[in-house]
Amino acid sequence: MKGDIMRAFKLKEIIIIPIVVALMFVMGYFLIPIMSVMPLPAYRALVVAPIYGIGITLALSSIRRIGVVSVIGLLIGVILSAFSIIMLIVSALSGLMTDIICIFMRDQYRKDPTILIAAGLFPALQIPLVFYTMAYTVGGAFEETIKTPIIMIIPTITTFLLSFYVSRKFYGVWKKRGVQN
């Protein structure tokens, strides 16, 4: 596994990733009414955290390699860039940062806990990234919010825990039923 970190994606992997992203968007579509009442756009990651967590878990349980979360983040960002180019930046950076953090965890998606941590990190990292991106591009109220870190820290931790918990339950059912790969 160590030598194949930089190998090219196989056709099966190239097909699985967009299917997972499409599934995430279909499930997320039903949450649009809830997301529209969120006071800050950054908190929308909290609402979609379970969906993102399940999607990342689903993809990584089939394709256990570095780069999968980055590609998922890029694909999500490309689709969301139709609404705001900032979402491309946030999603792509969130995927890249998740992969980088998991590289330093040594087992690099070979073990289940790393998959679940990645499932929690991907949506959780989007909250501070949205705040900082908006603060430096738009300014105004977002600039004031990054001066009060608790506004970012509590939702980020909550998003991580929610996504991690839902992913763990989903993965337990997934393995129990023997649906892996």
* Within-domain flag for 161: yes
Q: Which pLDDT score, from 0 to 100, does residue 181 have?
A: 54
pLDDT in tens, 75-106: 999 999 998 898 899 999 999 999 999 988 87
| Domain coverage including residue 164 | 12-26+40-172
Domain count, the chain: 1
* Within-domain flag for 134: yes
* Within-domain flag for 107: yes
Higher pLDDT pick, 6 / 154: 154
Structure tokens at 82: 């139709």
* Within-domain flag for 4: no
* Within-domain flag for 91: yes
pLDDT in tens, 32-79: 888 777 776 667 778 888 999 999 999 998 888 899 999 999 999 999
Q: Which pLDDT score, from 0 to 100, does residue 135 have?
A: 86
* Within-domain flag for 127: yes
Helices (H), 63-177: 68-80, 85-103, 112-137, 141-145, 150-176
Q: Which pLDDT score, from 0 to 100, does residue 32 have?
A: 80
- Whole-angstrom distance, CA of residue 165 vs CA of residue 155: 15
- Note the pTM of the prediction, 2 decimals: 0.87
pLDDT in tens, 115-156: 999 999 999 999 999 888 888 888 787 788 888 888 889 989
